[in-house]
Chains A and B, each alone.
Chain A
């Protein structure tokens, strides 16, 4: 398996624009996590899915953020409208059976909002 695949790797956008980040988890994994990493706040869990169903989105910073998982092989994180404070590295990770096994991380998307 190619691992968790995220696209794009880098995204530069203007404030107010819509941004969509994409993730393809490892085949057979039943958990998918979206994280945001910044110097100030470290690694923050935004939302996670189990079997394509959102379980906990309490980490989503505000209504501008939304995430979907229409099937087992694809998830998106959307920010609309984007703001400069959203600039961060966004990671997608997947795992099998949750707590017992490790999470496999994608390479991340570095988002810059100007």
Chain B
């Protein structure tokens, strides 16, 4: 079985500040990990993914995430927040053991203040 926990349903930052969105997962086999972003009235779209290559993954719009097996974490960061980053962010896990169903976290709403 696999699961995802996103710590904090809302994260508020100032424009230009560091963005850190937390994701911890549990999986009985090596995982594939994803971050998606959802803008208002839109579907989810992929930001970045980890599929057992480099542990530091770079995505679109300046976001990156680091896979830490010892901490079972896949936190999302961006050095400097922009107003356009305000959205809902979802972490998801699927496993290499054959369960092709991605499991999504509850989501974290990123609020960016001017």
Q: Which residues on A are within 8 Å of B, measured CB to CB? A: 4, 31, 33, 42-43, 45, 48, 50, 56, 91, 93, 97-100, 102-108
Contacts and interface: CB of A to CB of B under 8 A. Distances in A.
Nearest to B96: A99
Interface string B93-114: 0111011111011110000000
A102 to B, nearest CB: 4
Contact of B43 (A31, A45, A105): A105
Contacts of A43: 44, 90, 104, 106-107
B51 A100 contact: yes
B59 to A, nearest CB: 11
A108 B51 CA distance: 27
A106 B49 contact: no
Contacts of A107: 41-43
Most buried by B among A50, A99, A107: A99
B107 A99 contact: no
Given A42-B106, A99-B95, A105 B45 contact: yes
Interface of A is mostly: strand
A91 B106 CA distance: 15
Given A102-B34, A105-B44, 18 more contacts: A4-B43, A33-B101, A33-B102, A43-B44, A43-B90, A43-B104, A45-B101, A48-B100, A50-B100, A56-B101, A91-B43, A98-B100, A99-B32, A99-B98, A102-B36, A102-B49, A104-B46, A108-B41
A42 B107 contact: yes
A31 B45 contact: no
Contacts of A99: 32, 94-96, 98-100, 102
Contacts of A98: 94, 100-101
